[in-house]
Copies of this chain bind each other. A is one copy, B any other.
Amino acid sequence: MPDAATEPAKRGRPRRGPDPERFREIVDAAAEVFLEKGYSATSIQDISDRVGILKGSLYHYVRSKEDFLYRIIKDVYDEAIDDIRKIGEGEQEPLARLAAFIRAHVRFAAAHLTAYTIQLREFEQLSAERREEIRQGGETYVEALQAILEDGQAAGLVDASLQVRLASIIITGELNSMTRWYSPKGSLEPDQLADVYVGMVLTSVASEAAVTKAGGVEALRTEFALGQG
């Protein structure tokens, strides 16, 4: 019986595939360009120029331009799903959970600004199959938000007359719209922005009881603020 330890690894293929760090570097370059020019208006040449290699060389890493978009969106989408799952673990009170949700969302968008913005803007450019595949992933922000608002209504803390589905869509749009102007280079920290969002969103849905409990709208508007950033 041959000694397994001295026997060479099965002919040929360890086949590691491309270096994951280099791959990340390249996908990040693609994301930057997509953000600046838009996916469709970006050429493979634009990406390779940014990386500093020839355009043909990119096909070591992907099979098509769409693969770049897919990678960017898939990754941020998966992280977003994780993010949504973590929200509310711990927080019991609906308004506190709502505040936590908003803060988490703002932090997430700020932390993954490029990729998250691309996801919002360019999702429809993916092939139908890939859109479908990605959507299977899990609960969306809208759905999570809706659940919180429903809990809030049950607890009498969210205006009972609110159409929660519609409100969830509106609030999600409100939060997502930060990707249209927010820049990490500015002086506004994510938590400061979150404070503003939390204050505005909470008062926009709070019930009479919730306002009273907080000691008025203005009090409610700062109740969940982290304060000075």
Interface residues of A (CB under 8 A from B): 11-13, 15, 38-41, 52-54, 121, 124-125, 159, 161, 163, 166-167, 169-174, 176-178, 180-181, 188, 193, 196-197, 199-201, 203-208, 211, 216-218, 221-222
Beyond known contacts A12-B52, A39-B40, A161-B218: 18 more, CB 8 A cutoff: A12-B53, A13-B52, A13-B53, A38-B124, A40-B40, A159-B218, A161-B222, A166-B193, A166-B196, A169-B181, A170-B178, A170-B196, A174-B174, A176-B177, A200-B205, A208-B216, A208-B217, A211-B217
CB distance from A195 to the nearest CB of B (A): 10
By a CB distance below 8 angstroms, the chain B residues around A203 are: 203-204, 206, 217
Is there contact, CB below 8 Å, between A217 and B159?
yes
CB distance from A173 to the nearest CB of B (A): 3
Is there contact, CB below 8 Å, between B11 and A52?
yes
The A interface, classified by DSSP as helix, strand, loop or mixed, is helix
Assembly stoichiometry (copies): 4
A-B contact pairs, 14 of them (CB 8 A): A39-B40, A41-B125, A159-B221, A166-B196, A169-B181, A170-B174, A173-B173, A173-B174, A173-B176, A173-B180, A177-B177, A200-B204, A211-B216, A217-B217
CB distance from A162 to the nearest CB of B (A): 8
A39 to B121 alpha-carbon distance, docked (Å): 13
By a CB distance below 8 angstroms, the chain B residues around A217 are: 159, 203, 206-208, 211, 217
Chain B's closest residue to A22 (CB) is B11
A41 to B204 alpha-carbon distance, docked (Å): 38
CB distance from A7 to the nearest CB of B (A): 13
A2 to B125 alpha-carbon distance, docked (Å): 47
Chain B's closest residue to A200 (CB) is B204
CB distance from A4 to the nearest CB of B (A): 9
